[in-house]
Structure 1
Amino acid sequence: MKMLPRLYRPGDGDVGICFEYAVHEAMNSGDPRVLERMETALKLCNIKRPQPKSILFGIEKTGAVQLIDTAKNILTDESRTLAGKVGQPPKLRSRLNTIAAAFRRPATRAALPYSIRGLWKADLFVGSIATQQWVGTTVKINPAHLEGAAGLRVGIVPTRQGQNDRVRLDDGRGLVICPLHHDADFMQAFYEGWRIVQAFIASDAKVPPERRLPRPVDREICRMLEERREYPAIEVIEDLRIFGQPELLKTVVGEVDRQDLKGATDTSVLVAPLSRKV
C-alpha cells in the first residue's frame, strides 16, 4: 500500500476510468442506486427479467485488452448482443477476440458484422444472465463526450443540473441514456470516494491533514488504509470490504404502478435494499 503513491502517475482520464470501474462494481454488488436506473434502461432495450450484471471490457493504455471479469465464466455459447437492428442478434462469446482486436487494429473492424462494428468502443457489456442478452454500454464521466456507435445501446453518464434526468432513448445517438443521480445518491458517493483516494495518495499513503480532508469520517477511511501500509494493496481493499457488511442487506426488485396528474398509469422498476431476516 505504501508504494501506491510512488507508482501512481496522474492522468486526465483517471477519474473516467474509475467511474467505469465504480459503475461496474455497483451493478455486480447490487447497489440499488445504479440497478434501478439500469433495470429501466435494459427494459428499453427489450431485455426481459434484466436484473443487470456487468462485464468490464478493460482496455489498457498499452493497447492490451482484458475482460477483467472472466467473460467465459459468465457468457455461454448462446449469449447474444442486442444491436437494435432487425435480424438475429449476433452471438457475443465467439466474437470477443475480434472485438478486442478491433480496438488495436482498425483493419480488423470490418470483420465484425455491420450491426456491431462499433462494439469495440464499449466499456461494459451489461445484460441478463438469465436470458443471456447483453448490450454494449459506454460510460462517460463527461456527458458531452457521449457518442453512439454501431452495437452500442446504452450510455451511462452523471446527471447534469437543469437537464433531463430520465432514463430515455436518444434517437440522435441511437443510445438509451442512463443518467445517474448526484445529491445523496451514487454520484455524490463516487466523487467523495475519489477525493478521499486522491488526498490519501497525495499524502504519501498517510492520513491527510485536516485542511485537505476536513470531514472526520473521510480521514478515518484514510487511517484504516495507513494502518495497513505494509500489506499488498489488493488484499487491503478486499479485506476492508467486510466492514461494509453487505451481507446484512438483500436487493429486491419489483414493479410499481403510479398515476400522473392526468390519470395515466406508468409502471416503474423499484430496486430496494431490505434487511435480511436472522
Structure 2
Amino acid sequence: MIEIRREYQAEKITDEVQALIAVVLPILKGLLYAQKNEAIDDAGGYENIKLRQLPRIYREGSGDVGICFEYAVHDAILTEFQPVISRIDHALSKFCKIKHGDVKSLLFGAEKSGSIQLIKSIKDNLTNESRLLSGSKGQPVRLKKHIDAVAAAFRYRTLRAALPNSINGLWKADLFLGRTLPDQWVGTTVKINANELEHASGLRLGIVPTKQGKSDKVYLHETKNLVICPLPYDESFMEIFYSGWQIVKQFLTADAKVPREVFLPRPADRQVCRFLEQRRDFPVLEVIEALRPLAQKELIHTQPENVDVHVENGIITSTETIVAPFSHITDI
C-alpha cells in the first residue's frame, strides 16, 4: 500500500489581492525592523512610526530583500501558507525526524534591529527541555540554555569558541523551526540567493528559492550537512513574494501613496497600494494588524489517500489512477 498526497488548489491565487497582501505585510515589517535603532528612536519608536513616515526613515540597503524574505517565510509558516508550510513539514518529518505536531517558526536573526525583543520572544516560546537537532552525533543541546550566548556570539567573535562544538555556527541562524509537541527544533538559514547558502555547525535546514531550471525537491546536501528546502516560483510563493516586494518599493518611492500606473501597471498591485494609502496616517504595526484579516492564507489543501497497488517488474498498477499533477507518493 502507498500513500498519495494530492494537492489541489483550494482557492484561486486570485484572489490576487489577498495573496499579495499576505506577503506585503511581512515585507513592510521586515523593512521597518531593518532600520537603524537611532532613526527609529528619533521617529518615536517602532510602535509610533506612521506609514507615511516610513519612506522618510527608510535607507535602502543591499540586504533589504533578504531580510524581507526571512520575514515573509516566517510569516508564511505562522499563517499556514500551504505552498511553504507543506514543504517545511516534509523537511522536518523526513529529514530531521521531527514528527507529530504543527510546524512552528521562531524568528531569530541576531543581526536585526530589535534583536533583544526577538530573543526574548524565542525564550518565551521555548521550555527548559527544548532540544536543538543539529544533525551531528551526540546528545542534542538544550536550546533555551544557550540562546543568549548564541546571540552574543554574533556580535563578539571571541565568544564563538565558547559555544559547544555542535552549535558554534548557530549564530548564523535566521529562524528556529520545529514542533512544540516533541519540543524539538532546528537552526534554519534563509537565503534569497541560493549561492550564499553555507554550512555552519548548528544549522540543519536551508530555505532558498528554487533555481531556474532546477528541481524544487527537498533534499539533503551531503557536503554541507543541510536539508535544502527550495520554495517554488511559478504561480506560487516566490512569484508572489517578488510581486509584493515590487509593490512595497514603489509605494515607498511614491511617498506612501499609490504610484502612477506606469510604475505599477497591474490593477491588483495598485489595489493593495490603495489599501495602504488609506491608512498612511496610522502606525505601520497597526496597519499590518488591520490588514491581516484581508490576507489570503490557504491556497492549497493536501488530501492524503491510501491506495492498494501491485508492483511487477518495476511497474505500479492499481485499480485507481494514482499519477496526477501535484501528487506526492510516499511508502507506508
TM-score by length of 2: 0.75
| Contact map agreement 1:58 1:65 (CA 8 A) in 2 | no
Alpha carbons of structure 1 residues 263 and 116: separation in structure 2 relative to 1, 3 Å: farther
Tell me, yes or no, if the aligned pair for 2:109 and 2:173 is still in contact at 8 Å.
no
Task: Check conservation: 2:251, 2:273, Cα contact below 8 A.
Answer: yes
Structure 1 residues 149 and 187: alpha-carbon distance in aligned structure 2, compared to 1, 3 A threshold: same
Where does structure 1 lack aligned partners over 5 or more consecutive residues?
269-278
Percent identical: 52
Identify the residue that residue 212 of structure 2 maps to in structure 1. 161
165 and 252 in structure 1: CA distance in 2 versus 1, 3 angstrom threshold: closer
Deviations 1:212-232 (A, max 9, x none): 000111111111111112111
Distance (whole Å) between structure 1 residues aligned to residue 292 and residue 114 of structure 2: 31
> For the pair shown, which has the larger CA radius of gyration, 1 or 2?
2
Contact 1:141 1:157 in 2 (8 A): yes
> What is the deviation of 1:251?
9.0
Specify which structure has the higher proportion of helix: 2
> Which residue number in structure 1 is paired with residue 276 of structure 2?
225
Distance 1:11 1:217 in 2: 27
Match of 1:272 in 2: none
Shift of the alpha carbon at 1:60? 3.7
The one of 83, 86, 100 equivalent to 2:151 is 100
Residue 133 and residue 250 in structure 1: after superposition, are their counterparts in 2 closer, same or farther (change >3 A)?
A: farther
Aligned residue for 1:16, secondary structure, equals helix
Please state if 1:7 is matched with 2:46: no
Shift of 1:59: 2.8
- Flag the 1:185–1:138 CA change in 2: closer, same or farther, 3 A: same
Distance 1:54 1:107 in 2: 29
Structure 1 residue 14: Cα displacement: 0.3
The secondary structure found in structure 1 opposite 2:166 is helix
Partner Cα separation in structure 1 for residue 306 and residue 197 of structure 2: 32
1:48 equivalent in alignment to 2:48: no
Partner secondary structure for residue 3 of structure 1: helix
1:263 maps to 2:316:
yes
The yes-or-no answer on 1:201 pairing with 2:201 is no
Deviation of 1:252 after TM superposition, in Å, equals 6.9
Matched with 1:243 is: 294
The question of 1:25 aligning with 2:75 is answered yes
Q: Larger deviation: 231-240 or 132-141? A: 231-240
- 1:85 matched to which residue of 2? 136
2:204–2:226 contact (8 Å) kept in structure 1: yes
Structure 1 Cα separation of the partners of residues 193 and 296 of structure 2: 32
Where does structure 2 lack aligned partners over 5 or more consecutive residues?
Answer: 1-50, 318-327
Q: How does 1:174-213 map to 2 (within 5 A)?
A: 174-213=225-264
Q: Which has the higher contact order (CA 8 A, sep 6+)?
A: 2
Q: For residues 251 and 81 of structure 1, do their structure 2 counterparts lie closer, same or farther at Cα, with a shift above 3 Å needed?
A: farther
